[in-house]
Amino acid sequence: QTPAAPSTSSSLMSTVRAINLVLPETEVYLAGSSIDGQLVLNLRSTLVDPVVKVELVGRGYLRWLEEDNPEQDYEKNTACTNQAVYVSKAQNFHIEDGWLDSGVHTFDFHFNFPPSIPSTFTSKIGCISYFVQGTCCSHQIVLAKEERCLLLQGMAGDHKRQVKDTAPLVVEARKDVVYFCCFRHGSVILRISLEKNIFFPGDIIVFMTDIANRTCKYVRKVIFALHCIVLYSGFSSRGEQRSLEDRSEVTRLESRTDTAPFEAMRVTSALVLPKPMPVTSTLMENKIMAFRYELVGTSGLPCTTSTIVGRVPIIIAA
């Protein structure tokens, strides 16, 4: 029996040996900057009517579940979702004579990032991602495709606010405690001081903490963490607008203090910021997510289940 002739689709698919995106060795791109690269196409045989293009895409997506009607006995969750497109550009390459011979073909591309786009971000609820994608098609059939993810650092839009908030900042928290075992009472005071509260991705946050222990027990340690508070804005399946605020740790540090009873201690600490990271922003700027930050100092009160918490607002700019 004579074997069936291969279909046009399968013969086209075998035409492309490899497709590769060659990008510069840039770890993090800045909003408003540019990216130059090459699309390298390796063909086994001649390709007729090819469509070769490179796309730059940046988009955000979020999804969370919330209880549909808390007053009802049965549990029913509804999904809240939203999405946004921050950049969508394409560069189609002109193919002379409408065909490409076998061998290696190189196509240069160039894209500019918009100046006001958010940073790369990922959480359990949403993400903001950027990627470059190269494709080779013929007769509306995708023959080969490669995608490369990019890390992008967004820029802050409110420069006046940044200048205004560069003054030193001091936050004090106090917690009283009563020891019924010995009928004594006391308090712990936590004072966090910063020379400034505006920082850039990759910076080191240096701060001082004064601990005043006015109890009869030791204060053993203080845990410091930078919290990212994200406000998500989405829509239910019925088109109703919903919002959700979620808090997560960006970086943390545990300081052993061992502050003696009725003594005070000063501790100097430092936290290193990652890069990239979202800048402080509003829903108007990012469309579906808003970001703010707090430096949080927490210490357990000795011989109790209570804790003392000091919160310092931090602005991340770029």
pLDDT recorded at residue 76 = 76
pTM: 0.85
Judge whether residue 79 has pLDDT over 70.
yes
Residues 217 and 300 in one domain: yes
> Cis peptide leading into 276, omega within 30 of 0?
yes
Q: What does the block give as tokens for 289? A: 């997510």
As given in the structure block, the two tokens for residue 178 are 């009563």
Please tell me whether residues 287 and 311 are part of one structural domain.
yes
Percent of the chain with pLDDT over 90: 69
- Grouping H, G, I as helix, E, B as strand and the rest as coil, residue 286 is helix
Last residue of a domain, one of 122, 153, 184: 153
**Mean pLDDT lowest among 88-97, 152-161, 167-176:** 152-161
Q: Which residue has 């990012």 as its token pair? A: 286
Flag whether 1 is in a domain: no
**Contacts with 96 (C-beta within 8 Å, 6 or more apart), sequence order:** none
Is 77's pLDDT higher than 90? no
Asked if the structure places residue 35 within a domain, the reply is yes
Question: Would 113 be classed as within a structural domain?
Answer: yes
pLDDT at 187: 87
Q: DSSP for 244-256? A: EEEEEEEEEEEEE
| DSSP per-residue letters across 257-281 | EEEPTTEEEEEEEEEEPPSS-PPS-
pLDDT at 142 over 80: yes
pLDDT band at 3 (very low <50, low <70, confident <90, very high): very low
pLDDT of residue 71: 62
| Mean predicted confidence (pLDDT) in 29-49 | 95
183, pLDDT greater than 70: no
Q: State phi, psi for 118 to the nearest 5 degrees.
A: -75, 165
Q: Which of 127, 153, 179 is a domain's end point? A: 153
| Residue 50 reports pLDDT greater than 90 | yes
Residues 144 and 174 both lie in one domain: no
DSSP structure class, residue 196: -
Please tell me whether residues 113 and 253 are part of one structural domain.
no
pLDDT of residue 304: 78
Element (H, E) at 283: helix 283-286
Domain at 168, CATH number: 2.60.40.640
pLDDT level of residue 163 (50, 70, 90 thresholds): very low
Q: Do 48 and 186 fall into the same domain?
A: no
Query: Would strands 307-316 and 198-199 be described as parallel, antiparallel, or unpaired?
Result: parallel
- CB neighbours of 243 closer than 8 A, spacing ≥ 6? 231, 232, 233, 234
Listed residue (315, 312, 238, 284) closest to 78, CA to CA: 238
Nearest to 151 by CA among 263, 63, 310, 23: 23
Average pLDDT over residues 110-134: 96
Instruction: Give the pLDDT mean for 245-266.
Output: 92
Distance CA 144, CA 17 (A): 9
Q: Does any domain span residue 303?
A: yes
In a domain, 119, yes or no: yes
Residue 284 three-state SS: helix
137 and 195 in a single domain? The answer is no
Based on the fold, state whether residues 208 and 91 are members of the same structural domain: no
* Number of domains the chain contains: 2
E strand intervals along 73-167: 77-92, 99-100, 103-112, 121-122, 126-138, 141-150, 152-153
Same domain, 302 and 255: yes
- Over 70: is that where the pLDDT of 1 sits? no
- Distance set, CA 169 to CA 202, 292, 313, 314 (Å): 21, 17, 9, 10
Where residue 165 falls among pLDDT bands split at 50, 70, 90?
low
163 plus 134 within the same structural domain: no
Calpha distance 303→81 (Å, rounded):
45
Q: Is the pLDDT assigned to residue 125 strictly greater than 50?
A: yes
- Could you give phi then psi for residue 144, rounded to 5 degrees? -160, 150
Using the 3D structure, point to which of 153, 176, 192 is the last residue of a domain: 153
Please, what is the average pLDDT of the chain? Answer: 89
Expressed as residue numbers, the domain containing 64 is: 8-153
Do 116 and 169 fall within a single domain? no
- The per-residue pLDDT for range 259-318, each reduced to its tens digit, is 888 899 999 999 999 999 999 999 888 899 999 999 999 998 877 788 899 999 999 998
> Is 2 within the bounds of a domain?
no
φ, ψ for residue 162, nearest 5 deg: -65, -45
| Total H helices, total E strands in the chain | 3, 21
In a domain, 25, yes or no: yes
Residues 308, 266, 258, CA angle at the centre, nearest 5°? Answer: 65
Q: Is residue 30, in this structure, part of any structural domain at all?
A: yes
Shared-domain flag, residues 73 and 165: no
Q: Quick check: 31 pLDDT over 50?
A: yes
Residue among 192, 255, 266 nearest 220 (CA): 255
Q: Are residues 80 and 163 in the same domain?
A: no
- How far, in Å, CA of 88 to CA of 287, rounded? 16
